[in-house]
């Protein structure tokens, strides 16, 4: 499970980087740039959720060891 989480986090980070290259700062909310902004926000949400999952699994492991 730990490896899958890390792989998904790397994919989310790669998606953020890829979509950041698609941004047009003169028209940030039009066309392809709008799709890139939405994709960046979605990837950030995925990254944060995976980080929360990782922390919760560490807490679960520590709690079970007691």
Tens-of-pLDDT digits for all 66 residues of the chain? 899 999 999 999 999 999 999 999 998 989 899 999 999 999 999 999 999 999 999 999 999 988
CA-CA distance, 62 to 66, in Å (whole number)? 7
Nearest-10 Cα torsion for 7, 9, 14, 19: 140
- How many domains, in total, are found in the chain? 1
Q: Which two tokens stand for residue 21?
A: 């290259």
What global pTM score does this model have?
Answer: 0.86
How much is the pLDDT for 1?
86
Question: Domain containing 15: what range?
Answer: 2-65
């Amino acid at each position: 499970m730990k490896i899958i989480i890390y792989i998904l986090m790397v994919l989310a980070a790669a998606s953020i980087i890829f979509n950041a290259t698609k941004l047009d700062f003169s028209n940030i909310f039009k066309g392809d740039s709008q799709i890139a902004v939405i994709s960046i926000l979605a990837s950030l949400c995925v990254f944060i959720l995976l980080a929360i999952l990782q922390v919760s699994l560490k807490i679960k492991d520590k709690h079970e060891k007691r």
